[in-house]
Amino acid sequence: MAQSKGTYRFSFGPWNIDEGADPFGPPVREPIAFSKKLKEYKTLGFDGVQFHDDDAVPDIDSKSGGEILAEAKNVKEMLSGEGLEAEFVAPRLWFAPETIDGGYTSNDAACRQYAIERSKACIDIANILGTDRIVLWLAREGTYIRESKDARVAVERIRDAINAMLAHDPKVRILIEPKPNEPVDSGVIPTIGHAIGLAYMCNDPSRVGGLIESAHSILAGLDPSDDMGYALAHDKLWSVHLNDQGGLKFDQDKSFGSYNLRRAFNQVRILEAYAYGQKGEYVGLDVKAMRTQKLEVSTKHLANSRQTFLYLLDKVTSLDKDFEERLINERDYEELDRYILCHLMGTQY
Ligand code: 3MF
Ligand code: MG
C-alpha cells in the first residue's frame, strides 16, 4: 500500500552544513554553531539528527566519563527543545592519532583498544540521546597496500569489536555503513553484502544490520536500489544515506538525484515498495553543499534533496502498476523502458 508523503521522516548530520573546505582549499563560509544548526532542521523539513560521538561531545578524548555524560544530557535537552530526535550516533574513528592505521583493525593493539573503548563511550552517549542505533562507517578499516594487514584477521577483528559493543549494551543495534574506498584504498567491508555477511558472524545477528549510502554503492560499481533490495531481503535495511555520485571519482555527496534521476527514482521505488520507514527507519541524507554556495544559501542541498525524494515518491505512486505488470508479463522491456522514461520526463506516453 502506498505510504502518504507525511509518513517519511528525514534526517541529516550537522556535518552536512559545512564551511566548504576541500583537500585543495580552505573554508569559504563562516562556521555555523551547532545550536544554530539544530534550529534549521524543522524549517528544512527534518525530524532526525545524525550524530558522530564528537558532534554531541566535542573534544571527547579529553573528557572524563562524567563530563561526557553531562554534555550528552545537555544535547538531549537541546534536541527536545527543538522537537528533534537523535537518529543514531557513530564513533568517529578516523580523526584521532590512535586511528591513523584504522580503529578495530589497527596493527597496534593499544590503538585497537582505544577504538573499542571509544565505541563503548559512543553507546553511552546514544543511550542518553535516546537512540539504540550505532552507525559504523569503517573509514580506515582497510589498507593502502595489501600486505599491510591480514585480510582474514581484519574481518575477525571487526567482528570482535562489534561483539564487544553488543555485550556492552543488550539493546544496542549496530548499523554497518559500507564503503569500498576513501580514505583508504581498499576497505575491509566494501559492500552491503560484506556488511551483512559480517552481521551473521556476530554473537547476536538480529542486532547487526546495515545503512546504505547511494554514493558508496556507486563507488563500488553497484546500483544503490539493488543494494537496498539485498538488505531488505535480510530485513537489515535500517537506514539510508541518500545522495548522488557521478561515477568512479572521489566521494561527492551530491544532492539526491542530481546526477541520475532514474537511479534516484529506483531508490525511492524500492523503499516505498517495502514500506521503509514503518519500523521507525529514517530517510537519511548525506549531502554536501557545493563549495560555491554563499553562506545564506548553504542549506539548499538539504531541502532540495528532501523535495526531490518527495517528487520522486509522486512518480512512484503514480506509475500505472497494471500496465507495468502487463509489459513485464509480455516481456516487453523495451516498452517498459520507454514508459518509465516518459513517466519520469512527464511527457505524454
Ligand atoms: C563518509 C560518510 C560518513 C558517514 C558518517 C556517519 C561523514 O563517506 O558517509 O559521513 O555517513 O560518518 O556514519
Ligand atoms: Mg554516509
Cβ neighbours for 138, distance < 8 A, ≥ 6 positions apart: 93, 103, 104, 158, 176, 177, 178, 179, 187, 188, 189
261-317: pLDDT as tens digits: 999 999 999 999 999 999 999 999 999 999 999 999 999 999 999 999 999 999 999
Q: Output the CA 163–ligand 1 centroid distance in Å.
A: 22
Which one of 52, 174, 241, 288 would you pick to mutate in the ligand 1 pocket, going by the greatest count of ligand atoms within 8 A of its CB?
241
Cβ pair 168, 109 in contact under 8 A: no
Q: What's residue 1's pLDDT?
A: 47
Closest atom of ligand 1 to 15 CA is: 7
Q: How far apart are CA 231 and CA 12, in angstroms?
A: 21
Catalytic-residue membership of 52? yes
Strand 186-187 vs strand 142-143: parallel, antiparallel, or unpaired?
Answer: antiparallel
The answer to whether residue 287 is domain-embedded is yes
Domain count, the chain: 1
The answer to whether residue 300 is domain-embedded is yes
Q: How far apart are CA 85 and CA 253, in angstroms?
A: 23
The answer to whether residue 331 is domain-embedded is no
Catalytic-residue membership of 55? yes
Q: Output the CA 275–ligand 2 centroid distance in Å.
A: 22
Q: What's residue 349's pLDDT?
A: 87
Estimate the share of the chain in helix, then strand, then coil, as percent rounded to the nearest 5.
50, 15, 35
In 3-state terms, what secondary structure has residue 265?
A: helix
Closest atom of ligand 1 to 177 CA is: 13
135 lines ligand 1 (CB under 6 A): yes
Instruction: Report every protein residue that has its C-beta within 5 angstroms of ion ligand 2.
Output: 213, 241, 286
Confirm whether pTM is higher than 0.95. Answer: yes
The answer to whether residue 335 is domain-embedded is no
286 lines ligand 1 (CB under 6 A): yes
The answer to whether residue 232 is domain-embedded is yes
Q: Output the CA 209–ligand 1 centroid distance in Å.
A: 16
Intervals of the chain under pLDDT 50: 1
Closest atom of ligand 1 to 241 CA is: 11
177 lines ligand 1 (CB under 6 A): yes
The answer to whether residue 348 is domain-embedded is no
Closest atom of ligand 1 to 139 CA is: 1
322-344: pLDDT as tens digits: 999 999 999 999 999 999 999 99
Cell numbers of 330, please?
Answer: 509480455
Closest atom of ligand 1 to 213 CA is: 9
Q: Which of 53, 55, 244, 286 is catalytic?
A: 55
Q: Which of 317, 318, 310 is nearest to 5 (CA)?
A: 310
Q: How far apart are CA 135 and CA 212, in angstroms?
A: 11
Domain that holds residue 102: 10-318
Q: For position 88, which CATH number holds?
A: 3.20.20.150
Ligand nearest to the CA of 182: 1
The closest residue, in CA terms, to atom 5 on ligand 1 is 137
> Measured at the alpha carbon of residue 20, what is the angle toward residues 17 and 22, in degrees to the nearest 5?
130
The answer to whether residue 338 is domain-embedded is no
The amino acid present at 323, given as its one-letter code, is F
Q: 39: phi > 0 → left, psi -120 to 50 → alpha, else beta; which?
A: alpha
- Determine how many CB atoms are found less than 10 A away from the CB of residue 257: 24
The closest residue, in CA terms, to atom 7 on ligand 1 is 15
270 lines ligand 1 (CB under 6 A): no
Cell numbers of 42, please?
Answer: 524543522
The answer to whether residue 241 is domain-embedded is yes
Q: How far apart are CA 3 and CA 197, in angstroms?
A: 31
Residue 233 main-chain phi, psi, to 5 deg: -65, -20
The closest residue, in CA terms, to atom 10 on ligand 1 is 286
